[in-house]
Structure 1
Amino acid sequence: MTSTAHIVVLAASVRGERMGRVLADWAGTRVADRFATHDLIDLAECELPDDQLLQPGGGTKTAIADRLDTADGYVFVTPEYNHSYPGSLKRAIDWHYREWMFKPATVLSYGVQGGLLATEHLRGVFAELHMVTTRRVVGLHAPWYELGPTGYTAPEPVTKAFDMALGELDWWAETLRVARRDRPYGQ
């Protein structure tokens, strides 16, 4: 059964030599199997306004604001850089506020040790933005070893774990969509 939720997959790395987009493409195929619609936003292809224009609660409307706003939930594909997530992702998060509110997110992190410190740092940021982070997240340990000519080929346990995380994301997306519609939170 296909969910009616619209999910945004966000590729966080902007480095020239990166595998984030390859992993986001893989995640996008898994999302497409479960959800009616999805959108892939690659931060390497996005230009955000100058940070001097940033204000509490966001700032000037960005080129990706509407795409984020239409989402019922998010999949963040992020590397772990220096035991946290990249600055490019922090900028994208900070430039938006209302777009994230009362929506769920799951994290697909990667790195030498699976990138789970990036995930844990994101949980606190997401809570501040009224986002619900799924309990199930997936950390990819050295996924570059599973790269081939056609992209990333996930081991079966990784695919199973990610599909379980997407199941939880689906539940939260539907639950929070109904809540946003029927019982909007007084801001």
Structure 2
Amino acid sequence: MTKIGIILGSTRPGRNGEAVARWVHELAAQRSDAEFELIDLLDYKLPHLDEIMPPSLGQYAQPHTLAWAEKIASFDGFIMVTPEYNHSTSGALKNAIDFLYAEWNNKAVGFVSYGSVGGARAVEHLRLISGELQMADVRAQVALSLFTDFENFSVFKPGPHQADALSTTLDQVVAWSEALAPLRAK
């Protein structure tokens, strides 16, 4: 069965992303076309990139990198849940992505973002990064506004239309993950 990782891309205390990622996982778990697992960056304790060799060589030396690589390699595709900080994604998510290379290749990725403009600018940066990592980013995305999908900017209360946007995003990530399977098998 296709395995999709839902990456919680914020490590900030009091992060809004935890409620968002749990919502994504809860709705995804109701599907029967793939297995979904929530991946919290806090569980991996990745320091700032500390590998001597470039990730594209796959010569990881640090135990935390090896554990992270094993986890990411086990998935066929991803949903990245990202805040928008200063017109981009979080430093924690960018750092976690930068640790690896081949483990991301030929996998689909979709985005669930949140921020004052729905996290749209964070996703634009992640799409560029995904292309460099040979990932197929899907067109659909979920853009959650801090003004309309959160109460007092901190209590997650997504509008009903957001579940439909998430369903479409999940449909596309699962389909593309399955379509890319022959490339991963090589």
Q: TM-score, normalised by structure 1?
A: 0.87
How many residues were matched structurally? 177
* 1:138-185 deviation line (CA, Å, top 9, x unaligned): 11011322999xx7443221100110111111110110013322xx3x
Q: Which amino acid aligns with 2:158?
A: A
Alignment correspondent of 1:109: 113
Distance in 2, Cα, partners of 1:76 & 1:112: 18
Deviates more, 1:51-60 or 1:93-102: 51-60
Q: Which runs of 5+ in 2 are unaligned?
A: none
- The answer to whether the 8 A contact 2:119-2:144 is kept is yes
The AA in structure 1 aligned to 2:36 is: H
- 1:107 and 1:138 in contact (8 A); partners too: yes
- 1:8 counterpart = 2:9: no
Matches within 5 A, 1:1-187: 4-34=1-31, 35-49=33-47, 51-57=49-55, 59-60=60-61, 61-142=65-146, 143-145=149-151, 152-181=156-185, 184=186
Which whole-Å CA distance do the structure 1 matches of 2:170 and 2:40 have between them? 20
Give the % identical residues: 34
Structure 1 gap segments, 5+ residues each: none
In the alignment, is the contact (CA less than 8 A) between 2:16 and 2:156 conserved in 1?
no
TM-align CA RMSD: 2.0
Query: How far apart are 1:62 and its partner, in Å?
Result: 3.2
Equivalent position amino acid for 1:110 in 2: Y
Instruction: Specify the SS of the correspondent of 1:136.
Output: strand
Q: Distance in 1 between matches of 2:164 and 2:120?
A: 18
Distance 1:171 1:84, change over 3 A: same
SS of 1:158's equivalent in the other structure is: helix
Cα distance in 1 for residues equivalent to 2:52 and 2:97: 11
Cα displacement string for residues 13-71 of structure 1 (whole angstroms, at most 9, x for unaligned residues)? 11102111111010111221224422211112221255332432263333222121010
Letter in 1 for 2:55: G
